[in-house]
Amino acid sequence: MRFVVVAGLAACQLDECRLREWALMEQHPEAVDERTSRRMRNVRRSGSDAELRLRRELHRSGLRYQVDFRGLPGSPDVAFTRAKIAVFVDGCFWHRCPVHGSQPKTNEIWWRRKLDANVERDRRKDAELEGLGWLPVHVWEHEDPAEAASLIYELWLTRRDSESW
Protein backbone atom coordinates (compact mmCIF):
# COMPACT_ATOMS: atom_id res chain seq x y z
CA MET A 1 0.00 0.00 0.00
CA ARG A 2 1.12 3.45 -0.84
CA PHE A 3 0.68 6.26 1.62
CA VAL A 4 -0.42 9.48 0.06
CA VAL A 5 -0.77 12.72 1.88
CA VAL A 6 -3.37 14.69 0.05
CA ALA A 7 -2.64 18.35 -0.33
CA GLY A 8 -4.73 20.47 1.98
CA LEU A 9 -5.87 17.60 4.13
CA ALA A 10 -2.87 16.94 6.30
CA ALA A 11 -3.68 20.03 8.31
CA CYS A 12 -7.35 19.12 8.66
CA GLN A 13 -8.90 18.10 11.91
CA LEU A 14 -10.02 14.79 10.48
CA ASP A 15 -9.71 12.07 13.05
CA GLU A 16 -6.63 10.02 12.37
CA CYS A 17 -8.62 6.90 11.53
CA ARG A 18 -10.38 8.50 8.58
CA LEU A 19 -7.28 10.34 7.51
CA ARG A 20 -5.51 7.00 7.32
CA GLU A 21 -8.28 5.50 5.21
CA TRP A 22 -8.04 8.48 2.99
CA ALA A 23 -4.31 8.26 2.69
CA LEU A 24 -4.49 4.61 1.78
CA MET A 25 -6.64 5.21 -1.25
CA GLU A 26 -4.74 4.44 -4.40
CA GLN A 27 -6.48 7.14 -6.36
CA HIS A 28 -6.81 10.54 -4.86
CA PRO A 29 -7.59 14.04 -5.98
CA GLU A 30 -4.62 16.17 -6.86
CA ALA A 31 -5.91 18.92 -4.72
CA VAL A 32 -8.99 19.81 -2.74
CA ASP A 33 -10.47 23.22 -3.25
CA GLU A 34 -10.67 25.49 -0.25
CA ARG A 35 -14.45 25.31 0.04
CA THR A 36 -14.43 21.51 0.19
CA SER A 37 -11.54 21.52 2.58
CA ARG A 38 -13.34 23.91 4.89
CA ARG A 39 -16.55 21.92 4.70
CA MET A 40 -14.71 18.73 5.59
CA ARG A 41 -13.09 20.35 8.57
CA ASN A 42 -16.46 21.57 9.77
CA VAL A 43 -18.13 18.23 9.15
CA ARG A 44 -15.48 16.34 11.03
CA ARG A 45 -15.54 18.70 13.94
CA SER A 46 -19.32 18.59 14.25
CA GLY A 47 -19.14 14.82 13.75
CA SER A 48 -17.00 14.26 16.78
CA ASP A 49 -19.05 16.80 18.71
CA ALA A 50 -22.13 14.78 17.85
CA GLU A 51 -20.45 11.69 19.22
CA LEU A 52 -19.53 13.43 22.47
CA ARG A 53 -23.06 14.77 22.87
CA LEU A 54 -24.52 11.30 22.36
CA ARG A 55 -22.09 9.77 24.82
CA ARG A 56 -22.97 12.40 27.40
CA GLU A 57 -26.68 11.62 27.02
CA LEU A 58 -26.09 7.88 27.24
CA HIS A 59 -23.99 8.35 30.34
CA ARG A 60 -26.66 10.57 31.86
CA SER A 61 -29.27 7.85 31.38
CA GLY A 62 -27.09 5.53 33.42
CA LEU A 63 -25.67 3.44 30.61
CA ARG A 64 -22.02 2.41 30.63
CA TYR A 65 -20.20 1.51 27.46
CA GLN A 66 -16.92 1.09 25.68
CA VAL A 67 -15.65 3.76 23.35
CA ASP A 68 -14.02 3.05 19.97
CA PHE A 69 -14.31 -0.66 20.49
CA ARG A 70 -11.49 -2.03 18.33
CA GLY A 71 -12.38 -5.66 18.84
CA LEU A 72 -15.39 -5.44 16.54
CA PRO A 73 -15.94 -4.89 12.81
CA GLY A 74 -16.01 -1.17 12.09
CA SER A 75 -14.68 -0.24 15.58
CA PRO A 76 -18.03 1.08 16.87
CA ASP A 77 -17.94 4.53 18.46
CA VAL A 78 -19.94 3.20 21.39
CA ALA A 79 -20.35 -0.46 22.29
CA PHE A 80 -22.57 -2.14 24.88
CA THR A 81 -20.90 -5.47 25.34
CA ARG A 82 -23.60 -7.15 27.42
CA ALA A 83 -26.47 -6.12 25.17
CA LYS A 84 -24.29 -6.46 22.08
CA ILE A 85 -25.26 -3.11 20.64
CA ALA A 86 -22.75 -1.34 18.44
CA VAL A 87 -23.40 2.37 17.90
CA PHE A 88 -21.89 4.45 15.13
CA VAL A 89 -22.28 8.20 14.93
CA ASP A 90 -22.15 8.85 11.20
CA GLY A 91 -21.06 12.15 9.75
CA CYS A 92 -23.60 13.47 7.24
CA PHE A 93 -20.95 14.14 4.62
CA TRP A 94 -18.90 10.97 4.91
CA HIS A 95 -21.81 8.58 5.10
CA ARG A 96 -24.18 10.28 2.67
CA CYS A 97 -26.93 11.45 4.96
CA PRO A 98 -30.11 11.66 2.85
CA VAL A 99 -30.79 15.13 4.26
CA HIS A 100 -27.35 16.77 4.24
CA GLY A 101 -25.22 14.47 2.13
CA SER A 102 -23.51 16.35 -0.66
CA GLN A 103 -20.77 15.71 -3.10
CA PRO A 104 -17.95 18.10 -3.91
CA LYS A 105 -17.95 19.24 -7.52
CA THR A 106 -14.19 19.20 -7.69
CA ASN A 107 -12.87 15.70 -8.40
CA GLU A 108 -16.45 14.55 -8.60
CA ILE A 109 -15.76 11.00 -9.77
CA TRP A 110 -13.20 10.40 -7.07
CA TRP A 111 -15.57 11.66 -4.43
CA ARG A 112 -18.44 9.57 -5.69
CA ARG A 113 -16.29 6.48 -5.47
CA LYS A 114 -14.96 7.40 -2.05
CA LEU A 115 -18.37 8.12 -0.54
CA ASP A 116 -19.97 5.09 -2.22
CA ALA A 117 -17.16 2.98 -0.76
CA ASN A 118 -17.91 4.38 2.71
CA VAL A 119 -21.57 3.46 2.46
CA GLU A 120 -20.72 0.04 1.09
CA ARG A 121 -18.26 -0.57 3.92
CA ASP A 122 -20.86 0.49 6.50
CA ARG A 123 -23.24 -2.15 5.13
CA ARG A 124 -20.54 -4.80 5.10
CA LYS A 125 -19.50 -4.07 8.69
CA ASP A 126 -23.13 -4.13 9.78
CA ALA A 127 -23.55 -7.56 8.23
CA GLU A 128 -20.41 -8.78 9.98
CA LEU A 129 -21.67 -7.45 13.31
CA GLU A 130 -25.03 -9.13 12.83
CA GLY A 131 -23.20 -12.35 12.06
CA LEU A 132 -21.55 -12.05 15.47
CA GLY A 133 -24.89 -11.50 17.19
CA TRP A 134 -24.49 -7.75 17.54
CA LEU A 135 -27.04 -5.11 16.69
CA PRO A 136 -25.55 -2.25 14.66
CA VAL A 137 -27.14 1.15 15.30
CA HIS A 138 -26.32 4.20 13.22
CA VAL A 139 -27.01 7.71 14.47
CA TRP A 140 -26.66 10.64 12.09
CA GLU A 141 -24.64 13.51 13.42
CA HIS A 142 -27.63 15.79 12.82
CA GLU A 143 -29.94 13.77 15.05
CA ASP A 144 -31.01 14.96 18.47
CA PRO A 145 -28.63 13.24 20.92
CA ALA A 146 -31.21 12.97 23.70
CA GLU A 147 -33.71 11.27 21.38
CA ALA A 148 -31.06 8.95 20.02
CA ALA A 149 -29.90 8.09 23.53
CA SER A 150 -33.40 7.24 24.72
CA LEU A 151 -33.90 5.02 21.68
CA ILE A 152 -30.66 3.23 22.41
CA TYR A 153 -31.69 2.90 26.04
CA GLU A 154 -34.91 1.15 24.95
CA LEU A 155 -32.90 -1.23 22.79
CA TRP A 156 -30.51 -1.86 25.64
CA LEU A 157 -33.42 -2.77 27.95
CA THR A 158 -34.69 -5.35 25.50
CA ARG A 159 -31.29 -6.87 24.83
CA ARG A 160 -29.30 -6.64 28.05
CA ASP A 161 -30.35 -10.04 29.35
CA SER A 162 -30.92 -11.80 26.08
CA GLU A 163 -27.36 -12.92 25.62
CA SER A 164 -24.56 -13.87 27.91
CA TRP A 165 -20.99 -12.92 27.26
Of positions 14, 92, 148, 149, contacts Zn ion by CB under 5 A: 92
Using the Cα atoms of residue 90, residue 76, residue 146 and residue 139 in order, give the sign of their dihedral: positive
Pick from 19, 23, 89: nearest CA to 53: 89
* Residues between 45 and 64 that touch Zn ion (CB under 5 A): none
12-20, 118-126, 139-147, 157-165 -> range binding Zn ion (CB under 5 A) = 139-147
CB of 51 to Zn ion, least distance (A): 14
* Residues between 97 and 136 that touch Zn ion (CB under 5 A): 97, 99-100
Q: What is the DSSP string of 51-75?
A: HHHHHHHHHHTT---EES-TTSTT-
Residue with Cβ nearer Zn ion (14 or 92): 92
Residue with Cβ nearer Zn ion (93 or 156): 93
Residue with Cβ nearer Zn ion (97 or 119): 97
Residue 43 touching Zn ion (CB under 5 A): no
Is 9:37 a contact under the CB 8 Å cutoff? yes
Residue with Cβ nearer Zn ion (130 or 144): 144
Chain residues that interact with Zn ion, rule: CB under 5 A = 92, 97, 99-100, 140, 142
